[in-house]
Amino acid sequence: MDTENRIAVIGGGSWATALVKILCNNVDQVNWYMRNEVAVDHIKRYRHNPHYLQSVEFDLNKIQVSTDLVKMIESAKTVIIATPSAFLTKLFEDFPEGLMENKIVFSAVKGIVPEYNAIPARFIHKTFGTPYDNIGIICGPCHAEEVALERLSYLTVACQDEDISEEMADTLACRYIKTTTSDDLFGTELSAVLKNVYAIASGICAGLGYGDNFQAVLISNAIQEIENFIDEVSPIHRDVKSSAYLGDLLVTAYSKFSRNRTFGYMIGKGYSVKTAQLEMDMIAEGYYATKSVMAIKKKFDVEMPIVEAVNNIIYEKISPVIEMRILTDKLS
């Protein structure tokens, strides 16, 4: 079977749905894996995802949607994984050895694999043996909901192989999507993990009644923490003021579409962590990322008071009121 212009998208959530919509502009065939058989049948019959971004209508001549993970991957040249990081290990636990050989694999996960405290790029490398030069990341600043509305959005495509990042950037670019490329695979992916934690902090503060003045200080300190952290973990030159870092942080911390900000806002309003998770019925990646980031930051001895505050609130069950009051004296 010809795989030259086939891309497989793995995941059934809003970001996977948005990526399938974008890819249909420039790709002959999109193989779409979803584990939910009811959702697959619904898409085949009604041409839209019944659970996420329901306004998006798909051209079924360009999409093959299935619950058969192996089938969707084996006939594709490039694989984009857009499954929540908490489910990656289980998704691939019985995966056939060698199936990913010679594939180009992109992460659109934006989270950390909690079992290993590993970014998706490292998980892909260790699990499938994919060389780092064949691994990339697709990151923002971009919300799936605005892609569905075809509002102008920007994506960053990072890969150590410039040709691969350029090819994917061209594939994603369309009337409402502009793309840029980067060779900072680890920095962009770590930043994409961290921004979810800071979005939780932003939401908690909003829920507690802190205003825009404080939010500005919080997020300006957050980008400094991101810079310190990724410079320690992956020490190369990078400009964290660019869209892939600061831009992605801003949209995640401030947007009404941000799941992590919403999760934090509910905690600030008095919800317990469990109640907030149940009420949202969506994955807030920052919840899982916080514990992993704490483990990594201890290893590299990086000061990150905002991350520590979020960890104390959601894992140590310290009152958000008390913890954020303590944090205000640590920010500048």
Domain with CATH 1.10.1040.10 in the chain: 193-328
Whether residue 2 is predicted with pLDDT greater than 60 in this model: the reply is: no
Is the predicted pLDDT of residue 283 greater than 90, yes or no? no
pLDDT tens digits, 201-221: 999 999 999 999 999 999 999
CATH placement of domain 193-328? 1.10.1040.10
- β-strand 177-182 against 104-107: which pairing, if any? unpaired
The pLDDT, as a whole number, for residue 1 is 38
Q: What is the pLDDT of residue 166?
A: 97
Rounded distance, CA 96 to CA 100, Å?
9
Residue 280 has what pLDDT? 86
Mean pLDDT value across residues 83-110: 93
**DSSP-derived secondary structure letter, 85:** G
Under CATH, which number does the domain 6-183 receive?
3.40.50.720
User: CA-CA distance, 138 to 155, in Å (whole number)?
Assistant: 7
Alpha carbon distance 44, 58 (integer Å): 9
Q: At 4, is the pLDDT very low, low, confident or very high (cuts 50, 70, 90)? A: low
Q: How confident is the model at residue 110 (pLDDT cuts 50, 70, 90)?
A: confident
pLDDT digits (tens, 9 = 90+) for 126-176: 999 999 999 999 998 999 999 999 999 999 999 999 999 999 999 999 999
Q: Which pLDDT score, from 0 to 100, does residue 124 have? A: 96
* Domain boundaries for CATH 3.40.50.720 within the chain: 6-183
HEC sequence for 273-309: HHHHHHHHCCCCHHHHHHHHHHHHHHHHCCCCHHHHH
In the sheet where 153-159 sits, what is the strand order? 63-66, 29-33, 6-10, 78-81, 104-107, 135-139, 153-159, 177-182
Amino acid found at 53: L
| Radius of gyration over every alpha carbon of the chain, rounded to an integer in angstroms | 19
